[in-house]
Amino acid sequence: MVKLIKILTLFFIIVVFVSCGFQPIYKATDNNLNISDYSVKYQNEPSYIIKNKIQEIFNYSSSDSVYTIDLNAQQRDIPLIINTNGTVSKYRVEVIMYFNVYENDSDN
């Protein structure tokens, strides 16, 4: 009988913790993320490829954007395969991006 009470208590505790209905309040999902609300400002001039990839994602032709992304993109080319005559036939490209997001109406 004691064993049955322990099993039922354990089952009740598991059911309570699993089905508590917890949902995060500040969760960024696709439903509340609107890409047209963002404009991009570059701290440095990134390469053509990086700039095009960012333009594919963000539509910053809109003048009524709510947020501004202050972006610093750093690209580094590392030679992987060096030929015997000293020329490089293959590079590894590393891109590091630092960014800050600001509201246009305030300094937040």
pLDDT of residue 3: 84
| Per-residue pLDDT reduced to its tens digit, 64-85 | 777 888 899 998 999 999 999 9
pLDDT of residue 31: 57
pLDDT of residue 30: 53
How far from the centroid of its chain's Cα atoms is residue 82's Cα? 34
| Per-residue pLDDT reduced to its tens digit, 92-101 | 989 899 988 8
| Per-residue pLDDT reduced to its tens digit, 14-42 | 877 776 666 666 665 555 556 667 888 88
Answer yes or no: is pLDDT of 44 > 80. yes
pLDDT of residue 88: 92
Kindly state whether residue 108 falls inside one of the protein's structural domains.
no
Its pTM stands at 0.54
Domain count, the chain: 1
Query: Residue 104 corresponds to which tokens in the numbers above?
Result: 């246009």
Going by their DSSP bridges, the two strands 67-82 and 88-103 should be labelled as: antiparallel
- Domain containing 87 equals 2-103
pLDDT of residue 107: 62
